[in-house]
Chain A
Amino acid sequence: MSARLARAASSLAVIAVLLAAWELAVGYGLLKAYQFPPPSKIARGFAELSLTGFPTGVSLWAHTGVTIWRVLQGYVAAILLAVPLGLLIGALPVLDKLSAPLIVFCRSVATLSLLPLVIVWFGAGELTKVVLIGYGCFWTMLSNVIAGVRYVDPVLVRAARSFGLQGPELYREVVLPAALPRIFAGARMALGVGFMVIVGAEMIGTIQGLGALIMEARTFYRSEITIVGMLVIGLLGFLISSGLAGLERLLMPWASNLDQVRR
């Protein structure tokens, strides 16, 4: 424990020294304040952003809320579609073989490359962003659900069979619990994908959301606001991934070999 504490202290020290050096370098004119706004200016940017907002009236929290809401809509829709479909495809090997190349291809399609097409379909509004997030999350989730069901340890299945389990009962009692860790890992990856996509999608055709905030701030030469936005995006991503990792340990204590399950 004291080793971890020492490590955390040294990490903080490294960061503090760097921030101080940065502040001084701008103060002495070695770095341009516009390109590298010093920490003190970033702190003022944060205060302005959370009190009056940028553009005025849209606070940091409003931007964050809009981004989270967009991601959630696309993510939940993708999960609701991908889990049943994946369980079905995973249970029927023929279906899996028929669909495998298509699923691999759809997963390879860069989600943001769909943006022009989705704009043609749904305009440049909210729906477009939700659809893009949904697309990215869906294929990540689907391929993980299928893999989870398909690659259950055959020894488990054979053991269950010799205990007389078969058909739907075997699926429910053995295959599903064994596949759950992989499915949950897929849900975690999918949220990461959704978070990645939203930042790009918000850079086009909107003024609300964290992606729009950092892009707008650049247009108005407010680099310190851009950096505050980036830090909030990073923090949000970090909180989501560590939160889900904790939830995973809590919900599925039997998935002790998760690192082997994950590719």
Chain B
Amino acid sequence: MSASTIRSNDIALGVIGTLAVIMLWEAAVRTGVIDRGIFPSPSLAIAAATERLTARQLGENLSWSLARVFSGFLLGALAGVVVGILAGWYRRFGVVVSPLVELLRPIPPLAWIPLAIIWFGLGEPSKFFIIFLGAFFPVVTAAYQGMRGIDPMLLRAGQTMGLSGVPLLLRVAIPAAAPDLATGLRIGWGLSFGVLVAAELIAADRGLGYMIINERNTGGSVGVIIVGILLIGALNLLTDAAIGVAIRHWVGRWHGS
């Protein structure tokens, strides 16, 4: 669904529905239907969070999480794009690479956590590696399949016009594979983000995931946990939308919207 087809009354309905649920939640807690100690209402959660967290603490955790996910995703996606395109373009390279990728791809990124700790220790590199994998596998698969699925007619037309080798790859093949690449990048981003949170829960000493599990381990406020969860969700939603727009802009250069 493109943005222009969403009419304003649809948006109004969406806002009404969301507000209704939030008010219902608030009312259920205020009237005691839900125990405020274990599931505080939005207003109570925000009050608890502002009391227990300083803006500086929150900002620090937030920027750690963002720095991790962006660096891991960027390098993972870059590696995925390069390996996938080369494997799809150069037959011999593909024969070597694709069995390896097929073998390792079904292993979820989170299952790499223990091995990453064995290889890189408990510091930043192990988290970087897992987020990297979260981006790498969807992107490399999509890039490879995109390259293999190019209409041969396009390539032959390009050759007829005198293109061959690297120029043919850059000016015909990659643009033709762009929609698949875009899908892979989007999936990779979602996976990187989910992996980030899990890695921070399981083995980290800062970041948003650490912030909420630490709050529970030290017997802190449930309100802080809820604010943290909602913040992580909002961050995921916003960044995914931004990447979606950027990708549509990029792919749209060749394929229309």
Contacts and interface: CB of A to CB of B under 8 A. Distances in A.
Q: Do A and B come from one complex?
A: yes
Contacts of A243: none
A196 B103 contact: no
B178 to A, nearest CB: 16
Interface in B172-215: 183, 193-194, 197-198, 201-202, 208-209, 212-213, 215
Interface stretch (B75-83, B91-99, B249-257): B91-99
B194 A18 contact: no
Contacts of B21: 102
A204 B201 contact: yes
A234 interface: yes
A239 to B, nearest CB: 9
B59 interface: no
Chain B interface residue bracket vs A: 35 or more
A7 B94 CA distance: 11
A115 B210 CA distance: 11
Contact of B194 (A196, A217, A227): A196
B86 interface: no
A196 B17 contact: no
Contact of B17 (A14, A34, A98, A215): A98
A35 interface: yes
A117 B236 contact: no
Given A113-B228, A218-B117, A18 B10 contact: no
Contact of B201 (A10, A113, A214): A113
Chain A interface residue bracket vs B: 35 or more
Contact of A35 (B107, B119, B228): B119
B236 A110 contact: yes
21 contacts: A7-B95, A11-B99, A14-B96, A35-B119, A98-B17, A102-B17, A104-B237, A108-B237, A110-B194, A110-B232, A112-B198, A112-B201, A113-B197, A113-B201, A113-B208, A120-B222, A210-B111, A217-B114, A226-B118, A227-B115, A229-B111
Interface of B: 10, 13-18, 20-21, 38-39, 95-96, 98-100, 102-108, 110-115, 117-119, 183, 193-194, 197-198, 201-202, 208-209, 212-213, 215-216, 222, 225-226, 228-230, 232-234, 236-237, 240
